[in-house]
Amino acid sequence: MTGALFEVSFWLAAPFWLLMILAPHWRPTARLAASPLTVLPVLVVHLVMAVPVFPELWTAVRSPDIDTFRDLAALANGAGAIWAQVIAWDLLLGQWMFLEGRRLGIPALVMSPLLVVTILLSPFGLLVFLVVRAFRKPRSRPGETLPDRLHDAAQS
């Protein structure tokens, strides 16, 4: 059961990643990416795996050290819970990157490969995205004034 849940955690997130990577201009993609609720199914999987090992999980987060985390990860449910948590947070990170890329007008031909890297190695994808982001300015909307842009910047 734990092995199946481990696999399911990725497949619950995969449709959202595929939409952001392969259908970035489709209107429902942006609406889905703007919702934090996309991670709820993955978080349910996380809870199902975390509850049986909660004492070990609590020990690992209460006073973290490498040996405590190694012990937690050695448990099937512990490794599965950690994996589901990573999948959930990576999806939220990918959604933020997707939306921020749209806001800044970063082309889909740049964002899609960045999202692929993020799905596989999120710290590397995030680092490259932050570099790209540092050199981009938000695109203006037709009829938008400087006060509008300043207001939008203050809101984000």
Of the two residues 139 and 47, the one the predictor is more confident about is 47
Q: When comparing pLDDT for 156 and 19, which is higher?
A: 19
Would you tell me how many other CB atoms lie within 10 Å of the CB of residue 132?
17
SS3 149: helix
156 has a pLDDT exceeding 50: no
Q: Is the pLDDT of residue 67 over 50?
A: yes
- To the nearest whole percent, how much of the chain has pLDDT over 70? 88
Render pLDDT for 101-138 as a digit per residue (tens, 0 to 9): 999 999 999 999 999 999 999 999 999 999 999 998 77
Question: 12 with 91: CB under 8 angstroms?
Answer: no
Checking if the pLDDT of 149 tops 80, the result is: no
Encoded tokens for 93:
């990170």
pTM, to two decimals: 0.84
What pLDDT is attached to residue 109? 96
Measure the N-to-C terminal CA separation of the chain; round to a whole number of Å: 42
The owner of tokens 């939008």 is 152
By C-alpha distance, which of 83, 85, 90, 96 is closest to 117?
90
Averaged pLDDT, 39-60:
95
22: tokens are 């392969």
Q: Decide if pLDDT at 155 tops 60.
A: no
What is the rounded distance in angstroms from the CA atom of residue 94 to the CA atom of residue 33?
Answer: 8
Q: Map residue 137 onto helix, strand or coil.
A: coil
The answer to whether residue 152 scores a pLDDT higher than 70 is no
Give the 3-state secondary structure of residue 63.
coil
pLDDT averaged over the chain? 90
Residue 94 is encoded by which pair of tokens?
Answer: 């990918």
